[in-house]
A and B are shown apart, each in its own frame.
Chain A
Amino acid sequence: MTYLSRIRINPLRKDSRKLLSNPRAVHGAVMGGLPNHKPDDRVLWRMDPDNPHRPHLFVLSPTRPDWTHIIQDCGWPDADGDHAAVRDYTPLLSQLAVGREFAFRLTASPVQNTATPTKATPSQAARLTAHAEDGKRIRGFRMGHRTAAAQLDWFLTRTDRWGFDIPATRSDPTAPGIHTPAPPTAPHPTSPPGPDPNPPYEVRITARHRHSFQKNGHGAHVVFRSATFEGRLRITDTDRFTTSLLTGLGPSRAYGCGLLTLAPLPGQQT
Chain B
Amino acid sequence: MTTPAPEPAGNTHPSHGSDEPTVLLLRLAGPLQSWGVRSSFNRRDTGAEPTKSGVIGLLAAAAGHPREQPLGELADLTLGIRVDQPGTLLRDYHTVSDYRGRPLPQAGVSAKGIQKPTSPAKHTHVTTRFYLQDAVFVAALDGPPGLLTTLDRAVRNPAFPLALGRRSCPPTQPLSLGLRTTDMETALRSEPWQASAHTREQYARRLGRERGLHQPLHAGTIDCAATIEDPRGDDRLQDAPVSFDPHQRAFTSRQVRHAWLAIPTGFDHIDDDQPHGQADDPDHDPFALLGW
Contacts and interface: CB of A to CB of B under 8 A. Distances in A.
A34 interface: no
Contacts of B279: 51
B225 to A, nearest CB: 8
Contacts of B289: 91-92, 95, 102, 262-264, 270
A252 interface: no
B223 A264 contact: no
A53 B288 CA distance: 22
A91 B290 CA distance: 6
Contact of B282 (A56, A89, A264, A270): A56
A14 B235 contact: yes
A270 B286 CA distance: 11
Contacts of A48: 282, 284
B282 A4 contact: no
A230 B286 CA distance: 13
B290 A50 contact: no
Interface residues of A, number: 28
B57 to A, nearest CB: 27
B272 interface: no
Nearest to A15: B234
B290 A12 contact: no
B81 to A, nearest CB: 14
A54 B290 CA distance: 22
Chain B: number of interface residues, binned into ranges: 20 to 34
B93 interface: no
B273 interface: no
B234 A270 contact: no
Nearest to A266: B283
A262 B283 CA distance: 12
A48 B282 CA distance: 9
A13 B279 CA distance: 21
B278 interface: yes
B278 A51 contact: yes
Nearest to A6: B287
A242 to B, nearest CB: 14
Interface string A232-267: 000000000000000000000000000001111000
Interface in A181-223: none
Interface in A75-118: 85, 87-89, 91-92, 95, 102-103, 105
A263 B257 CA distance: 36
A262 B286 contact: yes
B286 A263 contact: yes
Q: Which of B280, B286, B291 has the most CB of A within 10 A?
A: B286
A58 interface: yes
B291 to A, nearest CB: 5
A6 B281 CA distance: 12
B282 to A, nearest CB: 4
B292 interface: yes
A208 to B, nearest CB: 17
B268 interface: no
B258 interface: yes
B80 to A, nearest CB: 14
A270 B289 CA distance: 6
B251 interface: no
Interface in A20-74: 48, 50-51, 53-54, 56, 58
B234 A263 contact: no
Nearest to B286: A261
Contacts of B285: 263
Given A4-B287, A89-B290, A105-B284, A12 B259 contact: yes
B283 A50 contact: yes
B278 A53 contact: yes
Given A48-B282, A261-B286, 20 more contacts: A4-B286, A4-B287, A6-B287, A12-B258, A13-B234, A53-B260, A53-B278, A56-B282, A87-B287, A87-B292, A91-B289, A92-B290, A102-B289, A105-B286, A261-B284, A262-B289, A263-B284, A263-B285, A263-B289, A264-B288
27 contacts: A4-B286, A4-B290, A12-B260, A13-B234, A14-B234, A48-B284, A50-B282, A51-B280, A51-B282, A53-B223, A54-B280, A56-B282, A58-B286, A88-B290, A91-B289, A92-B290, A95-B289, A102-B289, A103-B284, A105-B286, A261-B284, A262-B289, A263-B286, A264-B288, A264-B289, A270-B288, A270-B289
Interface of B: 223, 234-235, 257-260, 278-280, 282-292
The 4 closest A-B pairs by CB, nearest first: A50-B282, A261-B286, A12-B258, A51-B278
Interface of A: 4, 6, 12-14, 48, 50-51, 53-54, 56, 58, 85, 87-89, 91-92, 95, 102-103, 105, 230, 261-264, 270
